[in-house]
Chains A and B, each alone.
Chain A
Amino acid sequence: MAIIKSNERVGEGIFLLEIEGIFRGKPGQFYMLKVNDEYPLLSRPISIFEITEDTIKFLYQSSGEGTKILSRKSEGDAIYLRGPYGNGFPSVEGKIALVGGGMGAAPLYETGKQLLKKPAITTVDLFLGFSYELVLKDKWEKISSRFFYDIGGYVSNLVPVSNYDVIFSCGPDVMMKKMTEAGKANGVPVYVSIESRMACGIGACLTCTCHTKNGNRKVCKDGPVFLGEDIYEL
């Protein structure tokens, strides 16, 4: 069991959960969070928002029953946590754009934080799109060279794709597909992080199978990060 340090509402139905302990994980990986011994039976796959020396943080939206129960938990409550799972974002060099939509912003925080530390990275520009409000306003500038955001529109329109060597994207399918298309037109590789329902999280149940150009892949184990071109028909 893992003990909750805080579970703060940071936007409309959006929460930042902080768990005590020393946790492993690289940007783009996820953990399986289970809120109860009983119902619901399955864990929820939630990507790493941030890892600090003595905590791990998850930014999540309270949407289904599992995350609704999670949102009612508070300091001192225990949940089950297992992971990290998945491949995470690849190691890259040069000028990087991070493009996130909605809760797809979550994995980009630790990603930006880690990228900024690397000498081989010259720029980390962050583009976020939200439907109604910008959450965690004061945090994003700290993990990016420049930060741009959009409310209610299409964040993908803000990205000067040809300025970058690599793009990481996470969010709605429409957005990730658009980024992949723009990347292809400009010769810029776009990596996308796919969201999927999962049962086991370790590659056995085949719930999260996704079709790629190279055949069926498991989002939990082969992903969640894939080359956009392998996922989307362009």
Chain B
Amino acid sequence: MSCNLRVKFNHMEFKNPIVAASGTFGFGEEYNEVYEVETLGGICSKGLTLNAKEGNSGIRLWETPMGILNSIGMENPGVKEFVRKELPKMKKYNTRIIANVGGATEEEYLTIIEELNDTDLDMIELNISCPNVKEGCMAFGIHEKSAANIVKQVKRICRHPLVVKLTPNAENIVKVAASCEAAGADGISLINTFKAMAVDIEKRKAVFENVYAGLSGPAIKPIALQMVHEVSKAVSIPVIGMGGIMNWKDAVEFIMAGAHLVQIGTVNFVNPEAGKEIVLGLQNYMEKEGIKSIDEIRGIV
């Protein structure tokens, strides 16, 4: 019995459906010291902005029951440095490389896309969902009109396949997904973190300098799964599902709910070897169940 973990995402083939989520995997280098990251189906870069970003000051991380709140604030070297220094290293891994792109303004998004156009990236993930920056980003993803507009503008100049990463804080995530599809998106990824907060009662202050942060981890999984399920049914472009995936069983849940690919995020912090273990777990499961291709189980729920 041989099973096949390969997944077609439009015309692009991924060796398996497990992709490292943006912001949890750096540019792959650190994890490649833990296991061969080309075991994964793909790696999504840290969110890129036009210029280098220092990130947020103050506390950046807070644990909650089965979740974590983060307020990193898109710390990254900027797109030019990414293209010069990080991308060549990432391209050495025999796996799909996705660049996550965030911006404060439409102009910033477009300039970053132009900077990436002549590179040999596999895909762009348009981040209109990060809750941790003061301007832009998630602000574009709350309403279907602003989401559609940015996707349309980006799509006009973008030479790479474009996946749009949505926020669960959207007024109506299904409508946002549909409007992104109508605007030309090649795929949808969801969900980014939930806007959330914590209070330090001793200091009588919000824990984070930005007050609000982003909640991820197993705590959000059931809601993420529901959103992936609904969005998968509502659009005909492929969907990348994520939100609190901790093991191969969670990954199978998202695939059965309709996801073509899944991303793993918080679990990389909990167990740096999780990516490798999830790919292996998925393979064992398919062999045991006699599933020859992921297509057999995708969207069956």
Contacts and interface: CB of A to CB of B under 8 A. Distances in A.
Give the interface size bracket for A toward B.
20 to 34
Interface stretch (B29-37, B162-170, B194-202, B229-237): B29-37
B157 interface: no
Nearest to B217: A41
Contacts of A216: 54-55, 75
Nearest to B266: A41
Task: Provide the main secondary structure of the chain A interface.
Answer: loop
Contacts of A206: 26, 46, 55, 60, 72, 75
Contacts of A34: 270
A205 interface: yes
For chain B, give the interface size range.
20 to 34
Contacts of A204: 24-26, 30-31, 268
Contact of B67 (A41, A198, A205, A207): A41
A180 interface: no
A204 B72 CA distance: 11
A138 interface: no
Given A199-B61, A207-B61, A82 B272 contact: yes
Nearest to A66: B63
Contacts of B218: 41
A216 B46 CA distance: 16
Contacts of A42: 63, 68, 269-270
A203 B30 contact: yes
A153 interface: no
A221 B59 contact: no
B30 A202 contact: yes
15 contacts: A39-B65, A42-B63, A42-B68, A200-B24, A200-B268, A202-B31, A204-B25, A204-B30, A206-B60, A207-B61, A207-B70, A207-B72, A208-B60, A211-B54, A221-B30
Interface of B: 23-26, 30-31, 33-34, 46, 54-55, 57, 59-61, 63, 65-68, 70, 72, 75, 217-218, 266, 268-270, 272
Contacts of B31: 202, 204
A197 interface: yes
Interface string A101-136: 000000000000000000000000000000000000
Contacts of B68: 41-42, 199
B30 A41 contact: no
Nearest to B34: A202
Contacts of A207: 60-61, 70, 72
A202 B272 contact: yes
Interface string A190-234: 000000011110111111110100001000010000000000000
A202 B67 contact: no
A206 to B, nearest CB: 5
Nearest to B54: A216
Nearest to A207: B61
Nearest to B72: A206
A40 B59 CA distance: 18
A211 B268 CA distance: 25
B66 A200 contact: no
A203 B28 CA distance: 10
A12 interface: no
Contact of B272 (A66, A198, A200): A200
A205 B75 contact: no
Given A39-B65, A206-B60, A200 B55 contact: no
A198 B62 CA distance: 10
Nearest to B74: A206
A200 B269 CA distance: 4
B26 A41 contact: no
A197 B61 contact: yes
Contacts of A66: 63
Contacts of B269: 41-42, 199-200, 205
